[in-house]
Chains A and B, each alone.
Chain A
């Protein structure tokens, strides 16, 4: 397998990220570029979020989004959340998702976060084990969500 580079996303990455996101929610229609562009700019400029990408040669093959949230508890130490973990279907089981998660965790520790949490909608044991092997503990807290009606 070719060498992998894991890095932070920049403005010109948007089309390739949208293409990669087809592998995140395959049944959702892709976002129109005109809709995506301001969202992407806000995401990159927020100062709190980092989109992490893995690329093989010049192709983006895996990604996750890290949010670092300032926090008044825990001695003022921030916490981090990871969302939108995705690997291109042709590149799975090669450790690429693990690499982007490792970089997200490294950035969180660099920012002196006291924890990183992540939720997955998957019930597949293999997916849950993937997160465990990346350092996350299952069942640490009970997760709730409410979706907009």
Chain B
């Protein structure tokens, strides 16, 4: 069975959502690495970066990096149709935006979790985080301006890119700002939030508690 080192409300959630949608069994080894040294040590056994998510395949091989995991799993199940295949004209833009969400937006989490990692003193830390939030919002805006979505980002079919954006857009500075920055994708992620196929999953792994979108 697939094993995922992950945590509720983290970058493992789009991977778990995808596997849930496809009916593929998996086990989550919960590791809230941004709060807990013991969790970081648990993850270190499979990922020297001490971060989630990390996926352990039945063979024991480890894959880290949320975008890579999503792309790999979608490619392993072409019959499911959760990503454009190699011959699909949407493939290039799909790969572009998967990597963009990971590299231009999600990756800032390492600094946001602890600004001292890049040398900010305590006074600078708050303004640095504000600037990172501005940058993230701006990256969402630029992505939104360059896509031509249908019901979903790549067309009329749900893809792992939609699941990825639906989760990462809930990270700071939060969905309310995302909605203002990226109005086209805002409509799509609202559809995914409300998808009845994932209702139970969201309630367990990334619940919409009061004030969640602020």
Question: A residues bordering B, Cβ < 8 Å?
Answer: 2-13, 50, 52, 57, 99-100, 102-103, 106-107, 110-112
Contacts and interface: CB of A to CB of B under 8 A. Distances in A.
Nearest to B76: A106
Given A10-B200, A103-B77, 19 more contacts: A2-B156, A3-B81, A3-B156, A3-B157, A5-B158, A6-B22, A7-B21, A7-B80, A8-B22, A8-B23, A11-B200, A12-B199, A100-B79, A102-B79, A103-B22, A106-B76, A107-B24, A110-B2, A110-B25
Contacts of B24: 107, 110
B56 to A, nearest CB: 14
A134 to B, nearest CB: 11
A7 B22 CA distance: 4
Interface in B24-42: 24-25
Contacts of A106: 76-77, 79
Contacts of A6: 22, 79-81
Contacts of A57: 151, 156
- Of the listed residues A6, A11, A99, A102, the one surrounded by the most CB atoms of chain B closer than 10 A to its CB is A6
Contacts, number: 59
A7 B156 contact: no
A2 B155 CA distance: 9
B119 interface: no
21 contacts: A2-B157, A3-B155, A4-B81, A5-B157, A5-B158, A6-B22, A6-B79, A6-B81, A7-B21, A7-B197, A12-B197, A13-B197, A57-B151, A102-B79, A103-B22, A103-B79, A106-B76, A106-B77, A107-B22, A110-B24, A110-B58
Given A5-B82, A103-B22, A103-B79, A10 B196 contact: yes
A12 B24 CA distance: 19
A7 B23 contact: yes
Contacts of B197: 7, 10, 12-13
A5 B80 contact: yes
